[in-house]
Amino acid sequence: MVQQPAGPLAGLLVADFSRILAGPYATMLLADLGAEVIKVESPGGDDTRTWIPPDRDGVSTYYLGINRNKRSVALDLKDPAHLADAQELARRADVMIENFRPGGLARFGLDYDTVNAANEKIVYASISGFGPGAGADLPGYDLMVQAISGLMSLTGDPDGPPYRAGISVFDVMAGLHASIGILAALHHRERTGTGQHVEVNLLSSALSGLVNHSSGYVAGGTIPFRMGNAHPSLFPYEPLPVADGELIVIAGNDGQFRKLCGALGLDDLTEDPRFRRNQDRTAHRDVLRPILVERLATKTRDEWFHELLAAGVPCAPINTIDGGVALAADLGLDPVIESGGTPGVRNPITFSGTPARYELPPPGLDEHGEEIRAWLRS
């Protein structure tokens, strides 16, 4: 039997004092890449354990989706023996991650300054909603940040109400930013021998993640507005109606627009000064759109999908999740894995020499508690 190579983060011990989404997502990614992650839970367990429906055998699939490859220990920080265990875990860890309200762990001696005094090599990551300053007391819910950041003002039909995104997008983004920060701090520690405090907050992640929209405001003084599925700077770049529904059609540059016109039999449009360049097409989208829609109405979604792709035009059907998973499988991306018999979504990073691991299923509450407490007290 061939020995599976150790993951790129093998040998790292991560003390995970986070719960809900941003922190657990970050630590699952680290665990997939070989880190040993100990999930510290309150006696009641991570809130997402009870976020049902949907479920698998009575366990929330929300919880299952972000907690594989970890071991669980339940510690009541108000219990002196359990608190000593938590402090010892922090002392031994390479990385500690938490998403309590800023300053919330100080009364337990688990804040950065106290942990760092006992473990100067610790990379200590804190995730909050609005940072440790004036926003420290604000609860850090993704929906709040979607509203406050401006994302909801951009989501929905122009004449309709603002909408939240279909996922907790800034929780996920903050988890990714936390992972990047942790890895950067570990690289710094490798060079210098010292750890540091890494801080991420949802609002800063949101403003960074709004990319062209936030840049349009801070660099150009433009406040964007809801455009439905339209793009403020490109056309076409949206769903367009076809004979049996809609198809995403994209002309991300002038060359792609020429290919689109060729596939639709509308080559004369490429010489029209209103449509020759991207900025021209964007300015005259109300004129161009009905011309494209009229021609697209002559064939079905599947017909246009294959014809446009063959012509080099980016396009896509609007799938439900099952269709997305199926297409990923058809493309050989192997999107579904099993960790200890529990299905999950593959880690998105591929390594040529140290692949991600899928060894442990998401743990039951305190599943490894006896073993971990014995180790910490030895």
User: Can you tell me the distance from the alpha carbon of 259 to that of 264, in angstroms, rounded to the nearest whole number?
Assistant: 9
Residue 19's SS3 state is coil
Confidence of residue 4 (pLDDT cuts 50, 70, 90): low
CATH of 13-211+337-376, one of 3.40.50.10540, 3.30.499.10, 3.40.50.20, 3.40.50.12500: 3.40.50.10540
* In the predicted structure, residue 1 carries a pLDDT above the cut 50: no
What's the mean per-residue pLDDT of the chain? 96
Rounded to whole angstroms, the Cα distance separating 193 from 19 reads 29
In this predicted model, which residue has the larger pLDDT, 174 or 6?
174
The sheet with strand 315-316 has its strands ordered as 237-242, 245-250, 315-316
Task: Provide CB contacts within 8 A for 141, sequence distance 6+.
Answer: 129
Mean pLDDT, to the nearest integer, of 361-370?
Answer: 98
What are the tens digits of pLDDT across the range 6-25?
Answer: 899 999 999 999 999 999 99
The per-residue pLDDT for 6 is 86
So where are the chain's domains?
13-211+337-376, 237-323
Q: For residue 84, is pLDDT > 50?
A: yes
What is the spatial distance between Cα 41 and Cα 25, in angstroms, rounded to a whole number?
Answer: 15
As beta bridge partners, residue 39 has 16, 72
pLDDT 10s digits, 25-34: 999 999 999 9
Which CATH number among 3.40.220.10, 3.30.1540.10, 3.30.565.10, 3.30.310.160 corresponds to the domain 237-323?
A: 3.30.1540.10
How many Å apart are CA 32 and CA 10, to the nearest integer?
10
Give the pLDDT confidence score for residue 2 in this predicted structure. Answer: 42
Give tens-digit pLDDT for 48-72.
Answer: 999 999 999 999 999 999 999 999 9
Closest of 93, 96, 14, 83 to residue 42, by C-alpha: 83
* Residue 38 predicted with pLDDT over 80: yes
Q: What is the pLDDT of residue 95?
A: 98
Q: How distant is the alpha carbon of residue 13 from its chain centre?
A: 23
Q: Over 70: is that where the pLDDT of 3 sits?
A: no
Give the active site residues: 171
Q: What is the mean pLDDT of residues 290-294?
A: 98
Instruction: Report the pLDDT value the prediction gives residue 198, as an integer from 0 to 100.
Output: 98
Q: What percent of the chain has pLDDT over 70?
A: 99
The mean pLDDT value for 134-160 works out to 97
